[in-house]
Amino acid sequence: MVCQAQFPADVLPENHRLVCPNARRWWARAAAGGIAFPRAFAGGHRESTTRANKLSHLSRVSGFSNSRFWEGILVEVQIFGVKRSADTRKALRFFAERRIKTHFVDLMERPAALGELRRFAQKFGVTALVDRESRRFDELGLRYAQLADERWLQKLSEEPLLLRMPLVRNANHLVIGTDEPTWKSWMEKK
């Protein structure tokens, strides 16, 4: 139930939910901010029925808008890599420890789209995407290959083990490989 009416602080409608002594103040703030009210109170404290309402209540009423908990919700990171890659696991662990939502794309199960690879290539160049030290690079005999950028992108899409991993994206911010200082700066900006 969402509060549609604007009630003055001194006029409260008949409501069985107003159990807590602070309910009058909460009702006034919630009526002004349009916060959805919970279905019940537990122990005399306001509890939200959904996580989104709880977070909006924290930011509007209690002044928690600058907390790390609130910031962690706003950052969402996409990680491209292979599960058996140590650097990919390190990136996943880094964001998991900070409770940041990640979307992991295992390149062995689902290859990277050309458009996604182009995004990284536009910022860093195609040569930065290629892991010339990988075993797969030597197995394919690409040490002396001279391919056009578009052909390299196709090859990287077909052979994910040729990529430097992980590829990490946060909105328009991109990183190739493990770069913890940059990842930390993403959390500070939010």
Domains belonging to the chain, first-starting first, are 1-65 (no CATH), 72-189 (3.40.30.10)
Does pLDDT of 12 surpass 60? no
- Among 84, 104, 75, 83, which Cα is nearest to 168's? 104
Residue 39 has pLDDT above 70, yes or no: no
Q: What was the pLDDT predicted at 149?
A: 87
pLDDT at 84: 92
> What pLDDT shows up at residue 2?
44
Average pLDDT score over the chain: 75
Residue 72 clears pLDDT 50, i.e. is over it: no
For 121-154, the pLDDT digits (tens) are: 999 999 999 988 888 888 888 888 888 889 989 9
Instruction: Please give the backbone phi and psi of residue 58, each rounded to the nearest 5 degrees, phi first.
Output: -60, -40
Q: What is the pLDDT of residue 63?
A: 44
Q: Is the dihedral of CA 124, 127, 131, 133 positive or negative?
A: negative
Q: What pLDDT score was predicted for residue 173? A: 92
Residue 35's Cβ-side half-sphere holds a number of Cα atoms within 13 Å equal to: 27
Mean pLDDT computed over 25-50: 56
The per-residue pLDDT for 179 is 92
Alpha carbon distance 71, 14 (integer Å): 37
If phi > 0 it is left, if psi is from -120 to 50 it is alpha, else beta; for residue 138 that is: alpha
188 or 128, greater pLDDT: 128
Whether residue 163 is predicted with pLDDT greater than 80 in this model: the reply is yes
DSSP 3-state of 105 = strand
pLDDT at 58 over 50: no
Nearest CA among 190, 185, 188, 175 for reference residue 87 = 175
The pLDDT of residue 137: 87
Q: Where are the alpha helices (DSSP H) in the chain?
A: 23-33, 51-57, 68-74, 86-97, 114-124, 126-129, 135-139, 149-158, 180-189
pLDDT beyond 90 at 190: no
CB atoms within 10 A of CB 97: 8
What is the distance between the terminal CA atoms of the chain, rounded to a whole angstrom? 31
Whether pLDDT at 14 is above 90: no
